[in-house]
């Protein structure tokens, strides 16, 4: 992952959420991407994020046999656990992949990181730190603001604390809920899109003060 500051990561999360929301809720037949991961999110010159590579995508209206005919679809680390148990593909699977993507954006750790062994996963890694020790698992570059980086240490601490409360903790919570093991416990992309938009507005309103 390239070096992105907080608002850039929020914008990417927003763009991907909007794309999945469209696929799941606004197409004539809901579309399941089946392979959402960082390498399938492309950035334009204006930093707009685009979901790409629909080679494994399926229409939800297809029969169960056609949905499962080729076995488990997707990439290791981003495939929802229910697919490995033979469950039918669903929009819940894309939501899981999105949740893992969010957690990876926050921690800069891939779900297949060598550190995740003996039952530890990216989800549990963040969950154990959430919310009080979340700063310990964050990518330290998440607060990097380039030429506009805050120089005064006290102001910097205040900025980081505020961003933790209004942006990062809510964003991590979305990632954790979306990557729950049970599909029924995950959010749908309509609610995710609204929640990410609220986080973006919170960031912008704070930085306009």
Residue at 97 is within a domain: yes
Residue at 152 is within a domain: yes
Tokens describing residue 152: 């005064």
Q: What's residue 71's pLDDT?
A: 55
Residue at 67 is within a domain: yes
For the chain, the residue count is 209
Check: CB of residue 93 under 8 Å from CB of residue 30. Answer: no
H/E stretch holding 155: helix 153-163
* CATH number of the domain where residue 131 is located: 1.10.510.10
B/e letters for 168-183, b = 16+ CB within 10 Å, e = fewer, are: bbbbbbbbbbbbbeeb
pLDDT digits (tens, 9 = 90+) for 25-68: 999 999 999 999 999 999 999 999 999 999 999 998 755 434 44
**What is the DSSP code string of 43-99?**
E-TT--EEE---TT-EETTS-HHHHHTT-S-S-TTTS-HHHHTTPPP-HHHHHHHHH
Q: What's residue 65's pLDDT?
A: 39
DSSP 166: I
Neighbouring-strand partners of residue 59: 31
Number of structural domains found in the chain: 1
Residue at 1 is within a domain: no
Q: What's residue 149's pLDDT?
A: 52
Query: What angle, rounded to 10 degrees, do the helices at 189-207 and 169-178 form?
Result: 170
Residue at 169 is within a domain: yes
Angle at 167 between CA 165 and CA 172, to 5 degrees: 95
pTM reported for the whole predicted model = 0.91
Neighbouring-strand partners of residue 50: 42
Q: What's residue 21's pLDDT?
A: 98
Domain enclosing residue 66, as ranges: 6-207
Which residues are designated catalytic? 35
For residue 177, the SS3 value is helix
Low-confidence ranges of the chain (pLDDT < 70): 1-2, 62-73, 145-155, 208-209
């Amino acid at each position: 992952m390239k070096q992105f500051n907080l608002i850039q990561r929020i914008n990417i999360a927003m763009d991907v959420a909007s794309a999945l929301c469209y696929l799941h809720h606004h197409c004539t037949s809901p579309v399941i991407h089946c392979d959402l991961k960082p390498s399938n999110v492309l950035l334009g010159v204006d930093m707009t994020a685009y979901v790409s590579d629909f080679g494994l995508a399926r229409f939800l209206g297809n029969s169960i046999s056609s949905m499962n005919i080729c076995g488990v679809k997707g990439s290791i680390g981003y495939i929802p656990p229910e697919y490995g148990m033979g469950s039918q593909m669903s929009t819940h699977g894309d939501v899981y992949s999105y949740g893992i993507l969010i957690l990876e954006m926050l921690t800069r750790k891939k779900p297949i990181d060598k550190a995740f062994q003996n039952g530890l996963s990216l989800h549990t890694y963040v969950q154990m730190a959430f919310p009080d020790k979340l700063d310990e698992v964050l990518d330290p570059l998440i607060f990097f603001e380039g030429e506009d980086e805050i120089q005064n240490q006290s102001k910097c601490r205040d900025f980081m604390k505020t961003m933790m409360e209004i942006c990062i903790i809510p964003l991590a919570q979305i990632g954790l809920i979306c990557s729950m093991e049970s599909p029924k416990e995950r959010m749908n992309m309509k609610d995710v899109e609204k929640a990410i938009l609220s986080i973006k507005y919170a960031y912008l309103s704070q930085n306009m003060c």
